[in-house]
A and B are shown apart, each in its own frame.
Chain A
């Protein structure tokens, strides 16, 4: 049973524009959310996180928004750069339990 869903397998964005990656979850007990970025032949790299007590967290070009009532979070990348091209995984956890990952969204940023 997939508790974290990334419904867009891929996304293509022009360089300089905003990339918006979406993630939905079903378990209302999740209280910590993370985004990881993965390049081919490498392990996932931590990007940004947010706890359930917040609705926004920003780190440079990356901002994560959390809408608890909708059980939805999104990652905004502004401006997008070609080096951002990778697979992005959304993950969620309930305190004391393991991370649950989505299937990933492949982002392509074109020049």
Chain B
């Protein structure tokens, strides 16, 4: 069974440029998460989707970040414009939530390493 797929794996852009990341979750997983992991830190949640609905986006910097999960499968995360401090690894994870309890095991993709120059 295929795991969580993310692309691109690496991205280098100049500040003020836009960038987008794509995620395809594990087949059948209804919950999708975007995390950001800074160097030397653990992942921090940006947004969580239950199917196509964003149920937790409290940590998403909405002035420059946006996300969508049309049709409740694939998802894209966009930054526009990017800033130097956005350099990090962006991780996508998915899980199958029966009760939408947030205690389901999350499976992570390999991440996209973003470098903003």
State whether these chains interact: yes
Interface centre among A34, A93, A99 (most CB of B within 10 A): A99
Asked if residues B56 and A44 are in contact (CB atoms below 8 Å), the reply is: no
Is residue A95 contacting chain B, with contact meaning CB distance below 8 A?
yes
Q: How far is the CA of A94 from the CA of B101 in the complex (A)?
A: 8
Give complex CA distance A44, B43 in Å.
Answer: 9
Interface size on B, residues (CB 8 A): 24
Q: In the complex the two chains form, is A93's CB within 8 Å of B41's CB?
A: no
Asked whether A101 lies within 8 Å of B44 as measured between CB atoms, the reply is: yes
> For chain B residues 87-112, which have a beta carbon within 8 Å of chain A?
91, 93, 100-103, 105-111
A43 touching B45 by the CB < 8 A rule?
no
Number of A-B contacts (CB under 8 A): 61
User: Considering only CB atoms, which chain B residue lies closest to A90 in the complex?
Assistant: B42
Q: Which residue of A lies closest to B3 (CB)?
A: A43
Q: B88 → chain A, closest Cβ, in Å?
A: 13
Q: B107 touching A96 by the CB < 8 A rule? A: no
Considering the complex, which residues of chain B in the window 53-112 have a beta carbon less than 8 Å from any beta carbon of chain A? 56, 91, 93, 100-103, 105-111
Interface size on A (CB < 8 Å)? 26
Contact residues, B28-62 vs A (CB, 8 A): 33, 40-45, 48, 56
Among B6, B103, B107, B110, contact of A93 (Cβ-Cβ < 8 Å): B103
The smallest C-beta distance from B75 to any residue of chain A, in angstroms, reads 15
Q: Please, which residues of chain A bring their CB within 8 A of the CB of B108? A: 36, 43-46
- Distance in Å: Cβ of A5 to nearest Cβ of chain B: 10
Taking Cβ atoms with an 8 Å cutoff, the residues of B that contact A are 4, 6, 33, 40-45, 48, 56, 91, 93, 100-103, 105-111
> Which 10 pairs from chain A and chain B are nearest by CB?
A101-B42, A43-B108, A32-B103, A98-B45, A95-B101, A96-B102, A44-B108, A43-B110, A43-B109, A97-B102
